[in-house]
C-alpha cells in the first residue's frame, strides 16, 4: 500500500516537473520571439521610414485643358513624377552610393518646354514605336498611309503621337503608388486604322522599380508597338555624357539599318562588332566605330513573352545601377546622338550631345513591312499586352 502511494506521489511530482519545464520553455520561447520581432521592427523602420503615396497637382494648360503632375513616392522616399500630358516621366530621384538623391532622367520643370517639341523626353510612344519605312504598310492588301515626320519615314506615331496627347488619369494607392492612364486613339489618327483603346499603368514599387504595363484593344485590324522614352543619365548630372556608363544587353544579334535608320531586314550577329554588349562594356569604348552612334534594335535572346531581365546599365562613379526587364522581343538602345544643347534640363543645364540614353523595349522597327520580324498586328477581339520594368539599385 505504502509503496503504491509513494509511487503515485513520485509520478505526480514527475508530471508537475514536466509541466513546470514546459512553462519555462514557453516563457523562453515567448521572450526569444519578442526579441526577434523587436529587432526586425527596428530594422524595418530604418529601411522604410515613410509610407508610400501619390499626390496630384496642377501642372499647366494644354489647348485650354488642365494637365496634372503626379508624384509617386515609395516607402524609401524615392520619387517619380509623371504628367498626364504624353504620360511623360519628368523626373525620377534616386540616391547615389553616398546617399545623395538626384534626378536620373532628363526632364523639365514646366509644361511649356514640353510643348516645344523636345525629342520625346520621358514620353509614352505610340501607336508605333520607332520607324515605319516611307510611312506605309499593308493589312490584308489594303495600304495605309501614315504621317511622315522623320524625312520620308514615320517615327514614334507621327506628328501627334501619344507623347503629345492628354491622357485620362486615375490614381491608385493600395500598396504601391500607381497611375493609370487611358487614351482612345481614334480610327484614322495619324493614318492608323481602328479605334485603339489604350491603358498604360505606371507603378513605383518599394524595391525602386518603375513598372510600365500596356494594354490595348481595337475595333479594326491595326498595328501596335507601344514603348516609353526616358532618357537616362545615372550620374544625376547632365554635364556628364553617358559615354562612361557601362551596358550589358542579353542579345546575340541586332538589326542593322540603312542610312535613314530603317532595318535592312537582316538579323546580324553581334560577334566581333561594337554591338556586342553580352559582357558589360563601357558605351564610349567602341561608339566611334558605329556610324552616327548607337541607334539600333537588339534582338533579345529571350525566347518567350515572360518578364525577363534583358539589360543592365551601370555608372561606376555614382554606383547607380539599372536593370531592364521586359516581355518584348527587342530593345532600342539610342545613345542621344541627336541631342544638340537646344533644350535646357530642369536644373538649367543644356542637354548636349549624348548626355542621355534610351533603352526602349519594343517589337522591331518597320516590322509591318518586314515579314521575318515578329508581327505587330492586333485584331478585334485580341488583347495587346506588354510589360517593362526598370529597377534601380546601388552597386
Q: How far is the CB of 150 from ligand BGC (least distance, A)?
A: 8
User: Quick one: which of 95, 241, 360, 378 contacts ligand BGC (CB under 6 A)?
Assistant: 360
Q: Using the rule CB under 6 A, is 232 a contact of ligand BGC?
A: no
Rounded Cα distance between 12 and 219, Å, is: 83
Q: Using the rule CB under 6 A, is 338 a contact of ligand BGC?
A: yes
User: Quick one: which of 75, 84, 91, 130 contacts ligand BGC (CB under 6 A)?
Assistant: 130
Any idea what DSSP says for residue 99?
S
Its sign, for the CA torsion 49, 52, 58, 60, is positive
363 included as an active-site residue:
no
**CA torsion, points 192, 262, 274, 272, in degrees to nearest 10?**
110
Q: Using the rule CB under 6 A, is 351 a contact of ligand BGC?
A: no
The catalytic position among 229, 245, 296, 363 is 229
Q: Using the rule CB under 6 A, is 334 a contact of ligand BGC?
A: yes
> Is 72:79 a contact under the CB 8 Å cutoff?
yes
Stretch that binds ligand BGC, among 13-21, 39-47, 184-192, 331-339 (CB under 6 A): 331-339
Q: How far is the CB of 29 from ligand BGC (least distance, A)?
A: 60
Q: How far is the CB of 308 from ligand BGC (least distance, A)?
A: 21
Rounded Cα distance between 131 and 147, Å, is: 11
- Closest residue to ligand BGC, judged by C-beta, is 119
Short-list 142, 112, 128, CA closest to 196: 128
Q: Using the rule CB under 6 A, is 358 a contact of ligand BGC?
A: yes
Q: Using the rule CB under 6 A, is 295 a contact of ligand BGC?
A: yes
Q: Using the rule CB under 6 A, is 120 a contact of ligand BGC?
A: yes
- Which is closer to ligand BGC, CB of 125 or CB of 204? 125
Q: Which of residues 21-80 bind ligand BGC (CB under 6 A)?
A: none
For ligand BGC (CB under 6 A), the number of binding residues is: 10
360 included as an active-site residue:
yes
Q: Which residues are CB-contacts of 201 (< 8 A; sequence separation ≥ 6)? A: 178, 179, 180, 181, 211, 212, 213, 215
Burial 279-318 (b: 16+ CB within 10 A, else e): eebebeeebeeeeebbbbbbbbebeeeebbebbbbbbeeb
Q: How far is the CB of 202 from ligand BGC (least distance, A)?
A: 19
Residue 14 dihedral angles phi and psi, to the nearest 5°:
-60, -45
- Which is closer to ligand BGC, CB of 82 or CB of 339? 339
> Is 201:386 a contact under the CB 8 Å cutoff?
no
Stretch that binds ligand BGC, among 48-56, 97-105, 299-307, 330-338 (CB under 6 A): 330-338
Residue 8 dihedral angles phi and psi, to the nearest 5°:
-65, -45
Known catalytic residues are 229, 360
Interface ranges with ligand BGC (CB under 6 A): 119-120, 130, 261, 295, 332, 334, 338, 358, 360
Amino acid at each position: 500500500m505504502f509503496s503504491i502511494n509513494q509511487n503515485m506521489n513520485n509520478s505526480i511530482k514527475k508530471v508537475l516537473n514536466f509541466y513546470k519545464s514546459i512553462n519555462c520553455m514557453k516563457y523562453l520561447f515567448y521572450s526569444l520571439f519578442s526579441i526577434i520581432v523587436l529587432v526586425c521592427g527596428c530594422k524595418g523602420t530604418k529601411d522604410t521610414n515613410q509610407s508610400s503615396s501619390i499626390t496630384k497637382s496642377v501642372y499647366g494648360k494644354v489647348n485650354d485643358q488642365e494637365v496634372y503632375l503626379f508624384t509617386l513616392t515609395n516607402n524609401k522616399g524615392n520619387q517619380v513624377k509623371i504628367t498626364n500630358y504624353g504620360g511623360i516621366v519628368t523626373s525620377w530621384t534616386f540616391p547615389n552610393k553616398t546617399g545623395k538623391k538626384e534626378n536620373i532622367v532628363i526632364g523639365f520643370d514646366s509644361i511649356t518646354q514640353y510643348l516645344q517639341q523636345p525629342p520625346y523626353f520621358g514620353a509614352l510612344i505610340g501607336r508605333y514605336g520607332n520607324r515605319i519605312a516611307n510611312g506605309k504598310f499593308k493589312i490584308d492588301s489594303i495600304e495605309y498611309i501614315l504621317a511622315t515626320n522623320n524625312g520620308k519615314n514615320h517615327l514614334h506615331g507621327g506628328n501627334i503621337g501619344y507623347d503629345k496627347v492628354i491622357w485620362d488619369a486615375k490614381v491608385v494607392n493600395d500598396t504601391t503608388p500607381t497611375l493609370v492612364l487611358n487614351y482612345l486613339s481614334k480610327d484614322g489618327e495619324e493614318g492608323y486604322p481602328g479605334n485603339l483603346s489604350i491603358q498604360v499603368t505606371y507603378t513605383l514599387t518599394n524595391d525602386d522599380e518603375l513598372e510600365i504595363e500596356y494594354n490595348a484593344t481595337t475595333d479594326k485590324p491595326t498595328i501596335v508597338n507601344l514603348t516609353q522614352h526616358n532618357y537616362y543619365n545615372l550620374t544625376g548630372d547632365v554635364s556628364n555624357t553617358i559615354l562612361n556608363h557601362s551596358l550589358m544587353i542579353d542579345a546575340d544579334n541586332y538589326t542593322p539599318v540603312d542610312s535613314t535608320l530603317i532595318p535592312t531586314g537582316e538579323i546580324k550577329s553581334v560577334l566581333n562588332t561594337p554591338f556586342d554588349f553580352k559582357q558589360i562594356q563601357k558605351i564610349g569604348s567602341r561608339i566611334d566605330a558605329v556610324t552616327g552612334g548607337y541607334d539600333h534594335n537588339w534582338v533579345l535572346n529571350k525566347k518567350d513573352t515572360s518578364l525577363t531581365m534583358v539589360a543592365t546599365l551601370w555608372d561606376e562613379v555614382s554606383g547607380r545601377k539599372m536593370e531592364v526587364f521586359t516581355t518584348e522581343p527587342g530593345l532600342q538602345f539610342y545613345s542621344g546622338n541627336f541631342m544638340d544643347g537646344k533644350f535646357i534640363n530642369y536644373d538649367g543645364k543644356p542637354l548636349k550631345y549624348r548626355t542621355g540614353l534610351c533603352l526602349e523595349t519594343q517589337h522591331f522597327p518597320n516590322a509591318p513591312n518586314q515579314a521575318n520580324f515578329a508581327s505587330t498586328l492586333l485584331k478585334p477581339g485580341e488583347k495587346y499586352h506588354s510589360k517593362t520594368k526598370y529597377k534601380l539599385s546601388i552597386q
